[in-house]
Amino acid sequence: MAVKDLFCTNGFKTTAGSKMLENFIPQYESTVTENLWKEGAILLGKLNCDEYAMGSSNETSYFGNVINPIAKDTVPGGSSGGSASALAADLTPATIGTDTGGSIRQPAAFCGVVGLKPTYGRCSRWGIVAFASSLDQAGPITRNVSDAALMLQVMSGYDPKDSTSSNKDVPNFYNDLGKSIKGIKIGIPEEYNSDGISSDILNAKDMTINFLKENGAEIIPVKLPLTKYSLPVYYIVAPAEASSNLARYDGVRYGARIDGNSLDEMYENTRNLGFGDEVKRRIMIGTYVLSSGYYDAYYLKAQKVRRLIKNEFTEIFKQVDYLVTPTTPTTAFKLGSTQDLLTMYLNDVFTVPASLAGIPGISLPIKLDKNKLPVGIQILGKDFDEQGLLNVAKVIESCASFKDTPNGAAS
């Protein structure tokens, strides 16, 4: 299988889509990929991604953009766009990505495949190039729910090299698939019907609700009023952590080095030429919100609101077992069409809340829209309840009967 170029692979280039790491060859293997190789998987190659996973369209990579094989004038989503695109094009039977604010689920929705973000801590982050350490989480991108369960089974587990890794037992996700969902409670948050959401996506959500009803699930409208604060919180917390993590790329120890007449000039030249515009933008935002006089006003306040968002999910899961929402407000958009950064950031509006709360989420394709582009629906669950999440997704998948052909053209 091919893997996102954010996972360190021993003896093979790992670039994170950046000029800064253009020639970086790790001498160690990420825990997640090591787990896969131990179970007999073979590395086909590395897959393009937004630079340091910063982007929602896979257009920020130093090595060029990725195209969506479903419709070649559209984006595959980001930042794991290379992973979703390669899978949809039948270049690899399964792959892995990382999800910081939706970077597995959004490209999965755009490319008509299944993308699972596990609970934060379920899969080790060791050996993954860091973006935002309290949000980054590895997960599988597959053709179907059964493959996602099998992949997660192998990827998961405690890792003493990762202090945020959970030591909870790993269920047999694959063997325990297929249980009845009769009697489970499914929440439908009213806040996930934002302005600008396409009618095709709303229709897919209604179809999904009907599938669940037909299989005995109880549908309950719920409210998550803090959802509207998720994007502002995310775009404070994530850049702040990125600013800290990317400080290591200074031209001294590894990666690109652009010489200058002084040490400071060497730092400036290296970071100016080594990073792309989006990465620089987020470093500057992150440095600003962490700076003296602004830390309390921005970063500290954002962390407090993040805790409230987490608490809101905890309370809502006392009323329902799972939540069903759209994955994205629209289907895949045209390459080069989103020049307005705010519009681009808004594409993560439905995926970011789960990332902030650390809960698991899965996106799976339901139908095609009027332009023959895949429409994804997202299911969210309690901490470490990936098994139940996969069971619900399996039922929906069976009802939707979404098919795709080997050349990547969905039908």
* Predicted local distance difference test score (pLDDT) of residue 339: 64
Contact 359, 323 (CB under 8 A): no
Give the pLDDT band of residue 407 (cuts 50, 70, 90). very low
The proportion of the chain whose per-residue pLDDT surpasses 90, expressed as a percent, equals 90
* Predicted local distance difference test score (pLDDT) of residue 404: 60
Q: Is the pLDDT of residue 364 over 90?
A: yes
* pLDDT tens readout for residues 11-60: 999 999 999 999 999 999 999 999 999 999 999 999 999 999 999 999 99
* Predicted local distance difference test score (pLDDT) of residue 338: 67
* pLDDT tens readout for residues 274-312: 999 999 999 999 999 999 889 999 999 999 999 999 999
* pLDDT tens readout for residues 187-242: 999 988 766 798 999 999 999 999 999 999 999 999 999 999 999 999 999 999 99
The CA distance from 188 to 410, in Å, is: 27
The CA distance from 158 to 110, in Å, is: 32
For 377: left if phi > 0, alpha if psi spans -120 to 50, otherwise beta; the answer is beta
Which residues carry out catalysis? 4, 79, 103
pTM over 0.85, yes/no: yes
* Predicted local distance difference test score (pLDDT) of residue 81: 96
Q: Is the pLDDT of residue 255 over 50?
A: yes
Q: For 163-290, where are the E strands, in sequence order? A: 185-189, 218-222
Q: Is the pLDDT of residue 97 over 90?
A: yes
User: What count of Cα atoms within 13 Å lies in the side-chain half-sphere of residue 219?
Assistant: 16
Q: How many residues are present in the chain?
A: 411
Q: What is the mean pLDDT of the chain?
A: 94
Give the pLDDT band of residue 336 (cuts 50, 70, 90). confident
* pLDDT tens readout for residues 140-186: 999 999 999 999 999 999 999 999 999 999 999 999 898 999 999 99
Angle at 245 between CA 134 and CA 276, to 5 degrees: 115
Give the pLDDT band of residue 372 (cuts 50, 70, 90). very high
* Predicted local distance difference test score (pLDDT) of residue 411: 38
Contact 172, 332 (CB under 8 A): no
Return all residues near 87 (Cβ < 8 A) that are at least 6 apart. 93, 94, 95, 111, 113, 141, 142, 143
